[in-house]
Structure 1
Amino acid sequence: MKTIKSLYIVDDDKIYHFLFKNLLKQNDINVETTFFCNGYDAIEFIRKNKDDVEMPDLILLDVNMPIMNGWQFLEEYEKMVKDFDKKPIIYMISSSNSEVDISKSKDFDGLVKDYYLKPICREDLEKMFVLEEV
């Protein structure tokens, strides 16, 4: 089993950031967490720090954000990921239960592992944070 030690949360909702931090704490999940409010900030951080900062184990990516949404993030990320030694697992996290969004996440097979609806619950965390080695 592989345990998640670091993660990026890419989501524009500051309340979700707060709630997610509390959910981690309530479930005794100690993980180094970096928050980004849109896909552009996350992509730029990755681009500028890819040689100096180790990629996280996990990225939780919102679909709908200003400046650069989750799909645009994935398009840019896909161009860069081949150069990474460590390839994070990405989960789409959204309040959208649109079949279009859920289906689109499957178009990024190999990048996006699964699609979860907000709010994230304990069972979702268990699925995300304890994974089999690949």
Structure 2
Amino acid sequence: MSNIESPKFIVIDDDNINNFLVRGVLKQLSSSSEVECFTNPQLALDHLIGLENEKYKDLIIFLDLNMPVINGWDVLDKLSEHYGACLPENAKLYIASSSDIDKDISRSKAYEMVTGYLSKPLKLEKLKEIL
């Protein structure tokens, strides 16, 4: 996914402050990018499942794990049920969590659709690498 001029981003995190900061950094790195933030994981899930496959092209998703009612694991399970092992159009999904527990990192590797595990707060250098 390197050398994408205008990637699209979806940030799924119940923390408005984190979403604001991540949106700002992503727009700083790629001002022409679209950044959608969801504080409600069910709305994000409905949005993702409702997307036409071609809308996944150049899409990068950042998913928090620790959210109330529906957590990141639930979102991953529902996406896996709907799409199978991989998201359409080789979209990239990164776990972005404040948890650095080995169990969570290992569990995320069981999902083929998870591209990587990032610890929050997200670092500018790491986001540059992803782009």
TM-score when normalising by structure 1? 0.82
- The Cα of 1:35 is off from its aligned counterpart by 1.0
1:34 aligned partner: 36
Residue pairs, 1:90-105, within 5 angstroms: 90-105=93-108
- The Cα of 1:14 is off from its aligned counterpart by 0.2
Which consecutive unaligned segments of at least 5 residues does structure 2 have? none
1:23 aligned partner: 25
Name whichever of 29-38 and 96-105 sits farther off: 29-38
Q: RMSD value over aligned CA atoms? A: 2.2
Identity score, percent: 30
Which consecutive unaligned segments of at least 5 residues does structure 1 have? 130-134
Partner deviation per Cα, 1:9-31 (whole Å, 9 max, x = no partner) = 01000000111122224434431
Q: In the alignment, is residue 86 of structure 1 matched against residue 89 of structure 2?
A: yes
1:76/1:18 Cα in 2 relative to 1: closer, same or farther (>3 Å)?
same
TM-score when normalising by structure 2? 0.84
Moved over 3 A (4+): 25-30, 82-85
Paired residue total: 127
